[in-house]
Amino acid sequence: MNLSPRQSEILSIARAMGRVMVDDLARHFDVAVQTIRRDLGELADLGHLDRIHGGAVPRQGMVNIAYERRRKLNAGGKAAIAAAVAARIPENSSIILTLGTTTEAVAQALLHHRNLTVITNNMNVANTLCANPGCEIMVAGGALRRSDGGLVGALTAEFFAQFKVDIAVLGASALDHDGDLLDYDLAEVRVSRAILAQARATYVVADHTKLTRSAPARIASLSEVAKLVTDQPLPPDLARRCADWGCEVVVAPPVP
Amino acid sequence: MNLSPRQSEILSIARAMGRVMVDDLARHFDVAVQTIRRDLGELADLGHLDRIHGGAVPRQGMVNIAYERRRKLNAGGKAAIAAAVAARIPENSSIILTLGTTTEAVAQALLHHRNLTVITNNMNVANTLCANPGCEIMVAGGALRRSDGGLVGALTAEFFAQFKVDIAVLGASALDHDGDLLDYDLAEVRVSRAILAQARATYVVADHTKLTRSAPARIASLSEVAKLVTDQPLPPDLARRCADWGCEVVVAPPVP
DNA sequence: GAATTCATTCGATTATATTCGTTTTTGACC
DNA sequence: GGTCAAAAACGAATATAATCGAATGAATTC
């Protein structure tokens, strides 16, 4: 999409002033505030600006817009799941955190746990948990994927093979009606499978939006998993299947 | 969640002053103390601050004060060295970047190189080069050291053993008169030695402050190194020795 | 134990998303 | 050129959501 002249000017004003306000811009261009809002919204979608209440600021850094948007998608549900998972991870334990925005929310929720050992192939998780001094962090080696800060590939799987942890927190791109965990990227699936083998218990985190999606590669079945933590009740047939498998389904209560 | 402008400013005030008080901030921004409290609470939840009674202090996680200071120390010299090194790294090549603030400056200077493969055990380097889409990044696995974002340990050394690169850019804590590269941490030294073995050519980066320092562990001798890039001429005896060894000494011209 | 400071709730204000109808622009065709 | 239909841009109205400040009682510091 091309920028309108007004949008270009908004952008240069924003960059020059460090911040623009909706009202000021509406007066400056003599248009309605809704029009300005639309412009700002589009500029934000294109990654040029960040919306703030009442205006916008030029975006600094952060390479990946699509990923930022994914992170905001159902942020409430993810926070709820994260809190529920964190409550089920005891202090003084060792865990693996994998890729995915939900997993990153779990890392946020673990900021105040003490004496954790966290092994992760997610740069965002590592950066987040840096702020928790009571947490030893092992970063898995591998090729860095810009789109989400993930470390993937054969070397990553090998790395995980050297550990054995209490709990693995596994993300997934999709969760189908048969209870299969699915993903888009085969390299990532291999890593996930290696992780599954190295954990005494596996918790899968997946918000309800994952139930309506599909993906080509299969990671595992919920039958191999100890808990599924989600934010809305499962469809009855899947819930029954989980019960048969002994996979505990945790529906996280919303956090206020 | 995105930080509001006020939250960002609170954060930078906190980092600059070492501490912020609720009342002061409320007066400074001309808002109610409850509003400030809310901001501080959110910043604390995000791991940026720690609440104390009446205010907050910056959380020292990865935002290591000592490290930040080291990074600012002789920043000009480091930038000069970085530019000189970047000029000597051709595009379409594979390199290793190790720990150290000077190495991080090199990463900064490589932001516009194309088609690089960079292998690093430095989280800061990885985060920086994320912004360069023409650069494939491999992150070495290992234990994350909060003080400098370094990945160290036996696993890290093993990881590097699987690669062979054109150039390794090696940092060092100290450089003594005999031309020995020294470091404080034995685990890091092991990694550095593993790297030395995996590179067709090694460039050592060390600004002049490293010449007056010492450290207990020996990484290698300059005789094993192709180039030493520094920011001020070496003492004559060391310069002569480097010449004998065939180690080219590059004195980087200051950048304007 | 007195005084701050804090967390929480509530309501008021303001900003936002969304929808809809109007105006303007565009481009194709006669 | 002129006409028309489709598309885009815009503004108004509405419901939703975010922000802020005041009030309350609990927790804390001294």
Query: Is residue A2 very low, low, confident or very high in pLDDT (cuts 50, 70, 90)?
Result: low
8 A C-beta contact, residue B233 and residue B253: no
For the residues A113-134, what does the mean pLDDT come to? Answer: 91
CA atoms of B176 and B155, how far apart (whole Å):
29
Residues of B with CB under 8 A from a CB of A: 1-2, 4-5, 45-48, 59-63, 123, 126-127, 130-131, 133, 136-144, 146, 149, 151, 155-156, 159, 162
Between CA A65 and CA A44 the distance in angstroms is 9
Q: Which of A29-33, A92-96, B64-68 has the lowest mean pLDDT?
A: B64-68
Query: H helices of chain A, where?
Result: 5-17, 22-29, 33-45, 65-72, 75-87, 101-109, 123-129, 154-160, 186-197, 236-245
Residue A57 pLDDT exceeds 50: yes
Separation of alpha carbons A42 and B246, rounded Å: 58
Note whether B179 and B241 are within 8 A (CB).
yes
Check residue A112 and give its pLDDT. 83
- Amino acid, res. B88: R
- Long-range contacts made by residues B56-59, C-beta under 8 angstroms, separation at least 24? B56/B14, B56/B19, B56/B20, B57/B14, B57/B18, B57/B19, B57/B20, B58/B11, B58/B14, B58/B15, B58/B18, B59/A131
pLDDT band at A256 (very low <50, low <70, confident <90, very high): low
Task: List pLDDT tens digits, range B51-86.
Answer: 888 889 887 654 566 777 787 888 889 999 999 999
Name which of B48, B56, B69 is nearest B21 in CA terms: B56
Facing A57 at nearest CB: one of B1, B5, B59: B5
Residue type, A152: V
Taking alpha carbons only, the member of B52, B30, B31 closest to residue B41 is B52
Contact criterion met (CB < 8 Å) for A139 and B123? yes
Domain A5-61: give its CATH architecture.
Orthogonal Bundle (1.10)
For the domain bounded by B5-58, which CATH number is listed?
Answer: 1.10.10.10
* Per-residue pLDDT at A60: 65
Q: Specify the pLDDT at position B256.
A: 74
| 8 A C-beta contact, residue A139 and residue A110 | no
Could you tell me the two tokens for B34?
A: 């409850």
Question: Could you list the protein residues whose CB lies below 7 A from any atom in strand D?
Answer: A 4, 6, 30-32, 34-35, 53; B 4, 6, 30-32, 34-35, 38-39, 53
Q: What are the distances in angstroms from CA A125 to CA A119, B55, B96? A: 9, 27, 24
Contact B137 A126 (CB under 8 A): no
Q: What is the pLDDT of residue B245?
A: 95
Phi, psi dihedral angles at B29 (to 5 degrees): -95, -5
Strand C within 7 A of A17 CB? no
Strand partners for A96? A119, A168
- Are A57 and B123 within 8 A, CB to CB? no
Question: A70-251 has which CATH code?
Answer: 3.40.50.1360
CA distance B239 to chain A (A): 38
Question: Which chain A residues are within 8 Å of B137, Cβ to Cβ?
Answer: 143-144
Q: Tell me where in chain B the CATH 1.10.10.10 domain(s) lie.
A: 5-58
Q: What residues contact residue B176 under an 8 Å CB cut-off, 6+ apart? A: B182, B214
One-letter amino acid at A199 equals: A
Protein-proximal nucleotides of chain C (any atom < 7 Å from a CB): 4-9, 14-19
Longest pairwise C-alpha distance within chain B: 70
> Which positions on strand D lie below 7 Å from a protein C-beta?
9-13, 18-23, 28-30
Q: How big is chain A by its Cα radius of gyration, in Å? A: 21
| Residue closest to B231 by CA, chosen among B55, B90, B102, B38 | B102
What's the CA gap between B17 and A256, in Å, rounded?
Answer: 33
Interface residues of chain A, partner chain B, Cβ below 8 Å: 19, 50, 52-53, 57, 61, 63, 75, 108, 111, 123, 126-128, 130-133, 136-144, 146, 149, 151, 155-156, 159, 162
Q: Which residues pair with A167 in a beta bridge?
A: A95, A201
Domain B68-251: top CATH class? alpha beta
* A99, A101, A121, A139, best to mutate vs chain B, most B CBs in 10 Å: A139
Provide, in whole angstroms, the distance separating residue A52's CA from nucleotide D17's C1'. 14
The Cα of B71 is separated from the nearest Cα of chain A by a number of Å equal to 18
Listed residue (A69, A76, A124, A116) closest to A96, CA to CA: A116
For chain A, give every residue range classified as CATH 3.40.50.1360: 70-251
A&B contacts, CB < 8 Å: 94
Contact: B141, A159; criterion CB under 8 Å: yes
**pLDDT for residue A62 is more than 60:** no
Closest residue to B143, CB basis, from A63, A138, A155: A138
**Has residue A158 got a pLDDT over 70?**
yes
Cβ atoms of B151 and B140 within 8 Å: the answer is yes
Closest CA to B247 of B223, B231, B229: B223
Q: Which residue is nearest to nucleotide C18 (CA to C1')?
A: A34
- Looking up tokens 């946020």 gives A108
CA→C1' distance for A72 and C23 (Å): 36
Distance from CA of B128 to the nearest CA of A (A): 10
Q: Which residues of B156-166 are buried (b: 16+ CB within 10 A; e: fewer)?
A: bbbbbeebebb
- Asked whether residue B51's C-beta has any atom of DNA/RNA strand C within 7 A, the reply is yes
pLDDT of residue B62: 46
In degrees and rounded to multiples of 5, residue B61 shows phi and psi of: -105, -120
* A37 strand C contact, CB < 7 Å: yes
Parts of chain B with a pLDDT under 70: 1-2, 60-65
- Where in the sequence of chain B do the CATH 3.40.50.1360 domains occur? 68-251
User: B47 vs A128: CB contact, 8 Å cut-off?
Assistant: yes
Closest Cα to residue A99, out of A159, A161, A168, A155? A168
Provide the token pair at A216: 């080509």
